[in-house]
Structure 1
Amino acid sequence: MTGYDALAEVYEWLISDAKLTPAEFAAAFDDVIGLLPPNAHVLDSSCGTGQLAVGLAGLGMQVVASDASAVMIRRTEKLAVELAASLRTVRAGWHELPDHFDDASFDMVFCVGNSLHHAEGASGRLAALESMSRLLRPGGRLVLTSRTWELVRAGGSRLDIRDQLVRRNGRDALVIYRWEIAPHWEQEHHIEIAVARVDADGSVLVRSELLSCWPYRYDELGSELHSVGLRVEKSTFDPEVEGYMVIATKA
């Protein structure tokens, strides 16, 4: 999985206003959180800067936050300390998770933030899903969010510049996405994300990173989930909407 180390310092400018705080991020998943038993064991398997993991811990869950990026893990730990949230962190990519946990350790695994496309190709994606499935207890659920890659690919290679500044903690930033769309689905694609932050003294801090990704069709994802023992229970997929959520249950 690709790192995000360069973007970790400015990652809050990439999070939507509605999910900026841990409580708000967790509230976005109220429907699935309501399915959990008391004192549930939950894994946030691509935790980023920790908003969701810390939000879940604030609800009294036993939370583990994992990420392939050491910098993201440090930011998650810092946020947990700031909000006095109790959680465990593990630096690991998806394929490494079974090295850290016994099978059937969790009631729910989250893989959100449009992260799965960083798994390398169909084989890497299947290995990631297999790892997450192994960690779920029977009847446990995987909660996954994804870009609608059918729409992304239809737009072709392009430069997307946000039409307004994003304000976080009194500072503004301009967010830019540059898409490199390969000719074929199975080929490596690229997204370059740049955040230009304007500091109080007028100086501009720019952080950018070129990220590899391997897109997938919605139907392809459904077949892969089924192949690792997960049944799609709910999906918000709409081919005309930019993103969707899938909830899949372990048989």
Structure 2
Amino acid sequence: MTGYDALAEVYEWLISDVKLAPADFAASFADVLDLLPAEAHVLDCSCGTGQLAVGLAGLGLRVVATDASEAMVRRTAELSGEFGASVRTVRADWEELPGHFDDFTFDAVFCVGNSLHHAVGARGRVAALESMSRLLRRGGHLVLTSRTWELVRARGSRLDIGDRIVRRNGRDAVVVYRWEIAPRWEEEHHIEIAIAEVEAAGSVLVRSELLSCWPYRYDELEAELRRVGLRVETSTFDPEAENYTVVASKVQTAG
């Protein structure tokens, strides 16, 4: 897993306007939330700066937020305090989750924000999904969002410079992505993300981080979900769309 420690302090510039407010981020998953019992126990296992976790807690759910980055976990705790939300925060990567929680603990697990590609290759991805599946109660739901890597790879290595200034907390910045696309799917790829903040005096402060990622095809993801005991219930996958959401349920077993 990669850290996001350098980007944690400016991560809000990477969150879309429609998901910046915690209540709005949680509302974007209304269809899934309608399936959960009252006061459901929910895990956000790639919590970032906490917008989703805090939004879910605001709906009365019992929320645990984890992330591999200590800085992200700290920012989630700060946001929880700002909103007076009850969110338990734990620093843990996906494979460490079973060491912190019992099997069958959660009614829903969220792995959103295009995070799964940071798992190291197919083996690491399956291990991450296996950890999430173990923690779900039978019939519980995994909610996962992903980039459409088929599109990303087709575009090749490139530099994407934001075409507009983004304002966050009274400050302006431009977001830049630099993509390093490896020749083969199974090889390590890189994304360098830079936040170029325009300061009041006109100078520009740049914060950046080089992140490793291992892409996957949609059909590979479906097969891996089945392998760890999860059945895809709904999917928004479209080969021409930038992102998609998958909702999978824990397969009922005897016992």
Q: CA deviation at 1:204?
A: 2.4
CA distance in 2 between partners of 1:21 and 1:81 (Å)? 15
Q: Give aligned pairs, total.
A: 251
- Which residue pairs with 2:186 in the alignment? 186
CA distance in 2 between partners of 1:200 and 1:90 (Å)? 36
Give unmatched runs, 5+ long, in structure 2: none
TM-score (norm 2): 0.97
Matches within 5 A, 1:96-135: 96-135=96-135
Q: CA deviation at 1:170?
A: 1.5
* RMSD, aligned α-carbons: 0.7
Tell me the amino acid that sits aligned with residue 220 of structure 1: E
Matches within 5 A, 1:36-55: 36-55=36-55
Tell me the amino acid that sits aligned with residue 157 of structure 1: S
Matches within 5 A, 1:141-180: 141-180=141-180
- Which residue pairs with 1:238 in the alignment? 238
Identity %, equivalent residues: 77
- Which residue pairs with 1:250 in the alignment? 250
Q: CA deviation at 1:173?
A: 0.2
What SS does the aligned partner of 2:129 have? Answer: helix
1:209 aligns with 2:209: yes
TM-score (norm 1): 0.99
What SS does the aligned partner of 2:66 have? Answer: strand
What SS does the aligned partner of 2:31 have? Answer: helix
Tell me the amino acid that sits aligned with residue 53 of structure 1: A
Matches within 5 A, 1:24-35: 24-35=24-35
Give unmatched runs, 5+ long, in structure 1: none
Superposed CA deviations along residues 105-151 of structure 1, whole A, max 9, x for unmatched, are 00000000000000000000000000000000000000000000000
CA distance in 1 between partners of 2:200 and 2:110 (Å)? 36
- Which residue pairs with 2:8 in the alignment? 8
Tell me the amino acid that sits aligned with residue 187 of structure 1: E
Matches within 5 A, 1:75-94: 75-94=75-94
Tell me the amino acid that sits aligned with residue 220 of structure 2: E
CA distance in 1 between partners of 2:199 and 2:87 (Å)? 32
1:58 aligns with 2:58: yes
What SS does the aligned partner of 1:5 have? Answer: coil
Q: CA deviation at 1:206?
A: 1.1
Tell me the amino acid that sits aligned with residue 30 of structure 2: D
CA distance in 1 between partners of 2:54 and 2:198 (Å)? 28
Superposed CA deviations along residues 18-69 of structure 1, whole A, max 9, x for unmatched, are 0011011111111111111001000000000000000000000000000000
What SS does the aligned partner of 2:96 have? Answer: helix
